[in-house]
């Protein structure tokens, strides 16, 4: 049994959905579970809608109409008028209508998950209907009854035992009967509220299902030929890895390679299920295989560039040393503010941390820290991570730049640059 994951870029327009059906059609003889993300940039647009609703701004209806229109335009290209999918999608959007009718009272993260989740609920309705239209028998599955999480909204923590039981109970028989299409990125709480698993979490969804079902492999279909040594949008002569070990893939995603969500690998590694990263426009190409004991010699370094970084330094108000107690307090405040640390460094009197700038989390973080610490920060910085440095690439990348923080270990160099 195979698990496929199609991300937003692969289903961003009617052509993408037709291509998805073509790819799936090549695997007719297999049992297939298909995990789909929201179409194109829908999640960003729904985030904008959530903010507009929470702040009750004037553009709220316009943002919402734009999201609906985008989906209806794609559907108009794929289905005859009167096809039942139009009603299914309209009924799904009603979940947002109900929410935004009243003034916002609930917690922001809760509202976020109830609104943003509609992107995946709608995209899977459309994909499922189109597969059936294309003669590939498929059924739609509401993932919220299968992936159970706690109620940490926007970062749902998977309850593995309950999830495994639900998945094993009915999915194997459903997969014998037809293809199953379900939502990436979403989960459900015990009170039947919707949670999300963290941005770009659909890969993780695919890996949870694969681990629980003992799948033969997971394939994530991408708009690149496989896992590359660097971002092709930033570097010209990138190379594709044919194979990577789970460990190298975990390291790469940990340092910010966006090709796979960081939480994806571990469940697959534990269950020894290979992860294939393949190009959705050339499904016959081998892509990259991530598995145990993969053979790889790094002829080229792995380069990961993260823009829009903040470097923040904390010191105690009385200029005492940064002690273990301070560190534990600082870490818990970062966790509470949902800020993930990319690099950190301690000195006697200060503690420096580099992380992604996200306006709303950043202001939460400053609020949580400012009463106990002196804070200094720079933003608009770049974090460069180079693994397996070859040909002095670190030197080339940093030439002419101001290095604000540098950390070197045997295989990895990390630099924060201005
Ligand atoms: N649609 C969600 C996002 O854009 C999840 C995903 O794409 O994996 O973050
Ligand atoms: Mg996405």
Residue 127 sits at φ, ψ, to 5 deg, of -60, -45
Q: Tens digits of per-residue pLDDT, 47-96?
A: 999 999 999 999 999 999 999 999 999 999 999 999 999 999 999 999 99
> Burial level of 396, CB count in 10 A (0-12/13-18/19+)?
exposed
Residues 274-295 as b/e (b if ≥16 CB within 10 A, e otherwise) read bbbbbbbeebeeebbbbbeebe
pLDDT of residue 161: 98
Q: Tens digits of per-residue pLDDT, 272-289?
A: 999 999 999 999 999 999
Q: What is the pTM of this model?
A: 0.92
CATH of 302-417, one of 3.40.50.720, 3.40.50.620, 3.30.2130.10, 3.40.50.2300: 3.30.2130.10
Q: Tens digits of per-residue pLDDT, 378-413?
A: 999 999 999 998 778 898 999 999 999 999 998 899
The alpha carbon of 300 and the centre of ligand 1 are apart by a number of angstroms equal to: 30
Class of domain 2-290: alpha beta
CB 113 less than 6 A from any atom of ligand 1: no
Q: What is the 3-state secondary structure (H, E, C) of 322-386?
A: CCHHHHHHHHHHHHHCCCCEEEEEECCCCEEEEEECCHHHHHHHHHHHCCCEEEEEEEEEEEEEE
pLDDT of residue 299: 80
CA angle 78, 83, 85 (to 5 degrees): 80
Span 368-375, mean pLDDT? Answer: 96
The pair of structure tokens assigned to 193 is 């509220």
DSSP strand pairing (302-316 vs 373-387)? antiparallel
Nearest CA to ligand 1 atom 8: 200
Span 280-303, mean pLDDT? Answer: 89
Best residue among 201, 261, 264 to mutate for probing ligand 1, ranked by most atoms within 8 Å of CB: 201
Domain locations in the chain as residue ranges: 2-290, 302-417
Q: Tens digits of per-residue pLDDT, 329-366?
A: 999 999 999 899 999 998 888 999 999 999 989 999 99
Cα–Cα nearest to 139, from 163, 172, 174: 174
> Burial level of 115, CB count in 10 A (0-12/13-18/19+)?
buried
The alpha carbon of 322 and the centre of ligand 2 are apart by a number of angstroms equal to: 39
pLDDT of residue 348: 83
Best residue among 5, 34, 37, 356 to mutate for probing ligand 1, ranked by most atoms within 8 Å of CB: 37
pLDDT of residue 297: 73
Query: Which residues are CB-contacts of 44 (< 8 A; sequence separation ≥ 6)?
Result: none
- Terminal-to-terminal C-alpha distance of the chain: 48
Cα–Cα nearest to 227, from 201, 198, 265: 265
Q: Tens digits of per-residue pLDDT, 207-262?
A: 999 999 999 999 999 999 999 999 998 998 899 999 999 999 998 888 888 889 98
Span 92-115, mean pLDDT? Answer: 95
Eight-class DSSP state of 28: T
pLDDT of residue 294: 75
Q: Locate all alpha helices (DSSP H) within 201-295, ordered by sequence.
A: 202-213, 246-254, 265-271
pLDDT of residue 255: 86
Distance CA 105, CA 47 (A): 17
The alpha carbon of 30 and the centre of ligand 1 are apart by a number of angstroms equal to: 26
């Amino acid at each position: 049994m195979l698990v496929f994951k199609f991300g937003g870029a692969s289903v961003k327009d009617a052509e993408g959905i037709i291509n998805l059906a073509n790819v799936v059609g090549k695997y007719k003889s297999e049992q297939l579970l298909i995990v789909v993300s929201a179409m194109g940039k829908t999640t960003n647009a729904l985030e904008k809608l959530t903010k507009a609703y929470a702040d009750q701004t004037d553009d709220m209806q316009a943002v919402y109409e734009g999201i609906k229109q985008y989906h209806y335009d794609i559907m108009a290209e794929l289905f005859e008028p009167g096809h039942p999918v139009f009603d299914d999608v309209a009924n799904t959007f009603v979940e947002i209508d109900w929410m935004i009718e009243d003034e916002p009272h609930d917690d922001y993260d809760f509202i976020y998950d109830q609104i943003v989740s509609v992107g995946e609920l709608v995209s899977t309705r459309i994909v499922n209907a189109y597969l059936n239209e294309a003669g590939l028998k498929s059924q739609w599955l509401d993932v919220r009854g299968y992936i159970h999480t706690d109620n940490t909204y926007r970062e749902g923590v998977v309850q593995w035992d309950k999830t495994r039981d639900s998945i094993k109970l009915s999915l194997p028989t459903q997969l014998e009967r037809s293809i199953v299409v379900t939502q990436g990125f979403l989960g459900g709480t015990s009170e039947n509220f919707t949670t999300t698993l963290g941005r770009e979490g659909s890969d993780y969804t695919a890996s949870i299902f694969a681990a629980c079902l003992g799948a033969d492999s997971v394939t994530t279909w991408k708009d690149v030929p496989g896992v590359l040594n660097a971002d092709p949008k930033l570097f010209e002569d990138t190379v594709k890895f044919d194979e990577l070990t789970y460990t190298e893939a975990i390291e790469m995603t940990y340092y910010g390679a966006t090709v796979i969500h960081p939480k994806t690998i571990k469940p697959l590694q534990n269950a020894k299920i290979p992860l294939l990263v393949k190009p959705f426009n050339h499904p016959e190409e081998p892509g990259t295989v991530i598995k145990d004991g993969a053979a790889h010699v790094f002829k080229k370094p792995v380069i990961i560039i993260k823009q829009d970084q903040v470097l923040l330094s904390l010191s105690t108000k009385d200029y005492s040393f940064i002690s273990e107690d301070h560190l534990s307090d600082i870490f818990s405040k970062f966790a509470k503010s949902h800020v993930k640390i990319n690099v950190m460094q301690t000195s006697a009197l200060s503690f420096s941390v580099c992380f992604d700038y996200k306006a709303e989390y950043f202001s939460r973080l400053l609020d949580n820290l400012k009463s106990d610490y002196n804070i200094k920060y720079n933003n608009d910085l770049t974090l460069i991570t180079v693994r397996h440095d070859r040909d002095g690439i670190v030197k080339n990348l940093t030439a002419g730049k101001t290095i604000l923080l540098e950390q070197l270990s045997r295989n990895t160099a990390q630099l924060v640059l201005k």
